[in-house]
Amino acid sequence: MTINDKQLQHYRDHGYVIIENFLTPTELSKARDEVEDFIPGWLDYTANPRLPKPLNWDETPRSRRQMRFPFKGEQLNAVTLHPEMRRLASLMVGHDDLFCEQSDLTYKCKGHYADQDQPMHLDYVNHTLVYPPKDPSYWQTAFLVYYTDVDLHQAPTAVCSWQHYHDEILWPAAYTKEDRPGLYDAEVKVTVPAGSLLAYSMRTFHRGTRFLEEAARVGHFITYAPSAYRWLGILGWPEQGVYKSFSEWMSRATPAERELIGFPQPGDPYWTSETLAGVAARYPEMDLGPYT
Ligand SMILES: [Fe+2]
């Protein structure tokens, strides 16, 4: 379906938007056929959790590399490159020069390793080497497409409008409920029918929640980024950003060494008082003198 102006405005105002029934019935049904081929049994189990769980449901995590684009078949790949998702991301960033930096299938059930009450977090730690500024020309847009219904007991994503934290340097990038209960009090649970879409930004706090009963959920993470900036994208070095060893290396490296893995050079227009403060917060040991 077409994303309407009210939905686009909601994204601008809140840093996310929920679009129910985004996929057409045909797109959804074709995507589900491919999901069934990829992870047999999961959709039947989702429809009827009294059935035994799918074979190897609790196998050790598969690598992201086995779960990502390109998929066998056509529809999951077509969803990855959906023109309406591209249009939303283009409108936010102000041009159409984008690259798709992520397309990962995600599935979990009660008791699965991914069945967790996540802390409220921002996704930028493994989507950029630096910090996501307020300037929209740097905006990455993340999408979560749901291939199964998501009710309250089916581990809905929770998301918190950026109106609650828009004017601060966004570090730390995660908070427990004890540390910052306000983010949790203001969260919205994304309960939607299969075929729906959540769009959110790298500046938008959100979290996965636990299953409350026997159930499963299948979805698809897709992210677009402006193509001009080599420090963006989960497929490159930013993917390592969640590891302490990576931050330690980044902090020790010289500007020339950092530049070789895609970090913005001294003098790049990326550097502003905001991004200097954001990167200093993220990498407190880094000498930012050369970038000032
Ligand atoms: Fe996340």
Distance 42 CA to ligand 1 centre (A): 22
Distance 194 CA to ligand 1 centre (A): 20
Residue 261: per-residue pLDDT? 86
Closest by CA to 182, choosing from 164, 167, 159, 170, is: 164
What tokens does 274 get? 């905001």
Distance 102 CA to ligand 1 centre (A): 13
Q: What is the CATH number of domain 5-239?
A: 2.60.120.620
pTM confidence score: 0.93
Q: How far is 10 from 92, CA to CA, in rounded Å? A: 12
The dihedral built from the CA positions of residue 157, 188, 121 and 270, taken in this order, carries a sign that is positive
Q: How far is 9 from 14, CA to CA, in rounded Å? A: 8
183, 165 Cβ separation under 8 angstroms:
yes
Evaluate if residue 186 carries a pLDDT over 70.
Answer: yes
Domain boundaries, the chain: 5-239
Phi-psi region of 248 (alpha: psi -120 to 50; beta: other; left: phi over 0): alpha
Average pLDDT of the chain? 95
Tell me the sheet residues that pair with 128. Answer: 232
Residue 61: per-residue pLDDT? 63
Distance 103 CA to ligand 1 centre (A): 14
Distance 292 CA to ligand 1 centre (A): 31
Distance 122 CA to ligand 1 centre (A): 6
235-279 tens-digit pLDDT? 889 988 999 989 999 999 999 999 988 899 999 999 999 999 999
Distance 160 CA to ligand 1 centre (A): 12
26-78 tens-digit pLDDT? 999 999 999 999 999 999 999 999 999 998 888 876 677 778 898 999 999 99
- Quick one: average pLDDT of 207-218? 97
